[in-house]
């Protein structure tokens, strides 16, 4: 019979200690808010016995801004982001944050934890993708003489997930900061529908309109899987069109949806993708929603 080994929880005092501990034991689990880990990973008999708890590290909880972007440490919680809404100045991000689980969960769950769940793209991923967020990844490398060399690299969130859907974190590497550029388009759209268990189908969109002509459009779908579904060709096909759109043109665009995306295996997801996309187009065409765009 397999005996359960005790977990060892380390609470590093600072980044240097954290990076060195992770370098020595890259099989350790990084724990931020723990809201996902507690539910999924800590099974009796689990192989992970070393846990690096990072949620108390002040340097990972900072929020700041420049004139082009907001920047936050990976351990900023969902509720802290909601409280910093003026600083984030993204209605799409704010709406997404407000729909993420119950209040006590939002108090603990972090932006970094949300982006680093290995097997699923959670709610913040598609929104930060549309906002062109950049991620700082850090690790420490040991030189032959035993000296430590501290490495930091910034990547676009798009390259954080490989074509197989795996996270682009190297051994002993962790996500430390997130930069979220300000988007000045006036329209956003967010819908989230439960498909099964804890999995959701989502559509998120950002758009700008110039005198009734769509000058920018960014659309992303997720379905609780490893990928965010986005088609630049589909976006380009819609840009330059005048809104509101004639019903005939809207039907034409609807017919072409699965030219840009493969048809989901599951009929319910196919239905959701079509109906939420239609809602997006109707919302772009709706003068009430477009008031926001024209402001
Ligand atoms: C009741 C309930 C409701 C929920 N509702 C939602 C919801 O509506 N939307 C949603 O998106 N999620 C939801 N979640 C899932 C989860 O709470 C969030 O995704 C949360 O943001 C995860 O953050 P965390 O800090 O708790 O991550 P943790 O559980 O600490 O970690 C998650 C994963 O990321 C890794 N990790 C954490 N931080 C880092 C880092 N800095 N670098 C590298 N790896 C790291 C961990 O090793 C782990 O694999 C819900 C969970 C519960 C229990």
Q: Which atom of ligand 1 is nearest to the CA of 115?
A: 34
Instruction: Please write the tens of the pLDDT for every residue from 3-47.
Output: 556 678 999 999 999 999 999 999 999 999 999 998 776 655 555
pLDDT digits (tens, 9 = 90+) for 37-60: 987 766 555 555 789 999 999 999
Spell out the long-range contacts of 105-108 with Cβ–Cβ below 8 A and sequence spacing 24 or more: 105/35, 105/78, 106/77, 106/78, 106/79, 106/82, 107/77, 107/78, 107/79, 108/33, 108/34, 108/35, 108/55, 108/77
CATH of 187-294, one of 3.30.420.40, 3.30.70.250, 3.30.390.50, 3.40.190.10: 3.30.390.50
pLDDT for residue 102: 96
Contact present, 23 and 37 (Cβ < 8 Å)? no
Q: Give residue 287's pLDDT band: very low, low, confident or very high (50, 70, 90).
A: low
In eight-state DSSP terms, residue 245 is P
Task: Look at ligand 1, atom 32, and give the residue with the nearest C-alpha.
Answer: 113
Atom of ligand 1 nearest to the CA of 114: 21
Rounded percentage of the chain residues whose pLDDT exceeds 90: 80
Q: Whose CA is nearest to atom 40 of ligand 1?
A: 175
- Report pLDDT digits (tens) over 245-272: 899 999 999 999 999 999 999 999 999 9
The pLDDT assigned to 294 comes to 47
Query: Which residue owns the Cα nearest ligand 1 atom 28?
Result: 34
Ligand 1 pocket residues where CB is under 6 Å: 29-37, 39, 74, 100-101, 105, 108-110, 112-114, 116-118, 122-123, 169, 174-175
What is the arithmetic mean of pLDDT over 111-134?
Answer: 97
* CATH number listed for the domain at residues 60-181: 3.30.465.10
Q: Rounded CA gap, 101 and 133, in Å?
A: 23
pLDDT band at 176 (very low <50, low <70, confident <90, very high): very high
pLDDT of residue 295: 42
83: CA distance to ligand 1 center in Å?
Answer: 19
Quote the pLDDT of residue 36: 94
Where exactly are the structural domains of the chain? 8-53, 60-181, 187-294
Query: Do strands 187-196 and 199-210 pair parallel, antiparallel, or not at all (unpaired)?
Result: antiparallel
- pLDDT tens, 96-109? 999 999 999 999 99
Residue to mutate, 114, 139, 225, ligand 1, most ligand atoms under 8 Å from C-beta: 114
Say if CB 180 and CB 88 are below 8 A apart: yes
Q: How far is the CA of 256 from the centre of ligand 1 (A)?
A: 35
* Ligand 1, atom nearest to 176 Cα: 41
Ligand 1: which of 105, 174, 224 to mutate, judged by most atoms within 8 Å of the beta carbon? 105
Question: Which residue has a Cα nearest atom 19 of ligand 1?
Answer: 114
How far apart are the C-alpha atoms of 251 and 254, rounded to whole Å?
5
Minimal-distance CA residue to ligand 1 atom 25: 33
Q: What is the pLDDT of residues 197-234, one digit of tens each?
A: 989 999 999 999 999 899 999 999 999 999 999 999 99
């Amino acid at each position: 019979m397999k005996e359960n080994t005790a977990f060892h929880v380390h609470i590093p005092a600072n980044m240097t200690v954290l990076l060195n501990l992770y370098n020595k034991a890259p099989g350790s689990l990084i724990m931020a808010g723990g809201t996902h880990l507690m539910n999924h990973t800590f099974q009796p008999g689990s192989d992970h016995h070393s846990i690096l708890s990072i949620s108390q590290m002040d340097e990972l909880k900072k929020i700041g801004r420049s004139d082009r972007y907001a920047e936050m440490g990976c351990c900023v919680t969902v509720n802290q982001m909601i409280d910093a809404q003026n600083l984030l100045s993204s209605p799409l991000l704010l709406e997404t944050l407000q729909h993420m689980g119950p209040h006590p969960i939002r108090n603990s769950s972090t932006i970094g934890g949300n982006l680093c769940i290995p097997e699923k793209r959670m709610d913040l991923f598609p929104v930060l993708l549309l906002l062109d967020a950049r991620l700082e990844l850090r690790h420490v490398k040991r030189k032959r003489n035993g000296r430590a060399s501290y490495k930091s690299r910034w990547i676009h969130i798009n390259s954080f997930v490989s074509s197989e859907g795996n996270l682009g974190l190297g051994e002993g590497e962790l996500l430390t900061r997130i930069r979220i550029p300000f988007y000045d388009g006036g329209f956003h759209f967010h819908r989230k529908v439960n498909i099964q268990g804890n999995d959701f189908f989502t559509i998120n969109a950002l758009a700008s309109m110039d005198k009734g002509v769509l000058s920018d459009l960014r659309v992303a779908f997720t379905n609780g899987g490893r990928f965010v579904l986005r088609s630049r060709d589909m976006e380009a096909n819609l840009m330059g069109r005048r809104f509101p759109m004639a019903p005939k043109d809207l039907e034409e665009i609807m017919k072409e949806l699965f030219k840009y995306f493969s048809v989901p295996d599951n009929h319910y997801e196919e239905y959701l993708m079509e109906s939420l996309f239609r809602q997006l187009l109707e919302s772009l065409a709706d003068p009430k929603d477009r008031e926001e765009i024209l402001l």
